[in-house]
Amino acid sequence: MNRPITEELRALDAAHHMHPFSDNRQLPKDGVRIITQAKGVMIWDSDGNRYIDGMSSLWNVNIGHGRPEIAEAVAAQFREVEFFNLFYKTSNVPAIRLAEKLAAIAPEGFEHVMFTNGGSESIDTAFRMVRTYWAMQGRPEKFHVIARRNAYHGSTVAGASLGGMTPMHEQGGLPIPGISHIAQPYWWGEGGDMSPDEFGIWAARELAREIDRLGENRIAAFFAEPIQGAGGVIIPPRTYWPEVQRILSEREILFVSDEVICGYGRLGTWFGCEFFGTKPDLMTTAKGLSSGYLPIGAVLVGKRVADVFYGLGGEFNHGFTYSGHPVCCAAALKNIEIIESERLVERVRDHIGPYMKQKWTALADHPLVGEAEMEGLIGAIPLTPDKAARGKWAEVGEVGTICRNHSFQNGLVMRAVGDRMVIAPPLTITEAEVDELVDIARRTLDDTARTLKDKGLI
């Protein structure tokens, strides 16, 4: 591709195309990168620059880019039946096969699946399900939902309300009533003088304290990501999830594990709850379900909730035109088959996950890096002006943005969440590609340090 085409497309993008999570005044000035090719863990822009996709696009392209098997499965389904809905007591073959497959790979007790078109819709579905679950049993007062600060549960009204992102709450009059947010298990940033283990227990008990404050008889559910992704890859202290699970087991409250990022292999287990040993009642999924080839999400419904919806009967007045879209289901089914046949979950657990963890955590010796963490194939490094004191920068996000820009220039897609650099490559990444990724990350940290010196920030 040549430059005139890039310039022309950039101008058209600026003229007509509103981007998600973007400043619509600034973006046209910066100009977008137009991605025109993708294969494996690599992407190319319209100027021919190559990048390692260290983020699996948006944490979702688990099987890597450009797989012809998916293209073939999708084309075949298009030729069979492109679309028919699920509303008229009708079903379709890919939706049935995919539901069966998800029940097979999910932990014991998850036999039912409700399809959506993405993570936010999965969250909205679960949100209505947990309240309806109690209402169906004559307990509509069990209505309140607890989530966590700095959680990300999507961008719809319920998703953004459940999420704990204050900039999202500030737009559109959120959160909606009936939701409260408790502390996140972010030791490096918020642990103070506590040890990580002590802080993990403290953060978990915030849930118990919130339940006691509101009254258990008023609470429908607790929503949480196993590892917060968009919040900056917050890997909880190892004491956190066992204590949360203990608190939940003693109380009559549903637990929704938001598996939109951790689901489908990212942690070297099929689902994040299996990695941490928690026992959810519902799992919200999307992203890795289709590795991004087509939009689809799914709520996996555990026995406790299914027993009420199937046992008591009564209509659940909820669904989307494209729920269980046959072509999206065909893509997802082929994606899961690839994860199985290439043993990608085991690969992350036994081989490439430990390999990358060793390389990535070695970045902790860099003067800008506060700590370096990774589980499965998801990791983070907080950038700090003062390692020993776990210091923060004066203006949150300034240094992260500098680092992110250097990373792009150096050929690596690494995301900045505030001043935390996060990484989540495709599960197919090779050892040589991990080496290259971490080499570029280190060079990027050196470039960032140089820029910070020039600006007088260090």
Ligand X SMILES: *Cc1c(COP(=O)(O)O)cnc(C)c1O
Judged by the rule CB under 6 A, the positions of this chain that interact with ligand X are: 118-120, 123, 152-154, 225, 229-230, 258, 260-261, 286-287
Shortest distance, position 433 Cβ to ligand X, whole Å: 23
Shortest distance, position 32 Cβ to ligand X, whole Å: 19
DSSP annotation of 45 reads E
Residue with the shortest CB distance to ligand X? 119
Q: Is the dihedral of CA 212, 217, 219, 221 positive or negative?
A: positive
Estimate the crossing angle of helix 240-249 against helix 196-214, to 10 degrees: 20
Amino acid found at 395: E
Shortest distance, position 73 Cβ to ligand X, whole Å: 21
Shortest distance, position 259 Cβ to ligand X, whole Å: 8
Task: Give φ, ψ of 180 to 5 degrees.
Answer: -130, 155
Q: Please, which residue, 91 or 155, has the CB nearer to ligand X?
A: 155
Dmax of the chain from CA atoms?
67
Q: Please, which residue, 59 or 393, has the CB nearer to ligand X?
A: 59
CA distance linking residue 244 with residue 249, whole number of Å: 9
State the residue for tokens 């991004």. 292
Q: Please, which residue, 378 or 402, has the CB nearer to ligand X?
A: 378
Shortest distance, position 95 Cβ to ligand X, whole Å: 18
Shortest distance, position 455 Cβ to ligand X, whole Å: 32
Shortest distance, position 413 Cβ to ligand X, whole Å: 16
CA distance linking residue 120 with residue 153, whole number of Å: 6
Q: Please, which residue, 254 or 256, has the CB nearer to ligand X?
A: 256
Angle (CA) 438-441-445 rounded to 5° is 140
Task: Give φ, ψ of 280 to 5 degrees.
Answer: -70, 160
Q: Please, which residue, 335 or 410, has the CB nearer to ligand X?
A: 335
CA distance linking residue 76 with residue 59, whole number of Å: 27
Q: Please, which residue, 156 or 451, has the CB nearer to ligand X?
A: 156
**CB count, 10 Å around CB of 337?**
15
Tokens of 85: 């809905």
* CA of residue 361 relative to chain centroid, distance: 21
Q: Please, which residue, 146 or 208, has the CB nearer to ligand X?
A: 146
Cβ–Cβ < 8 Å for 114, 323: yes
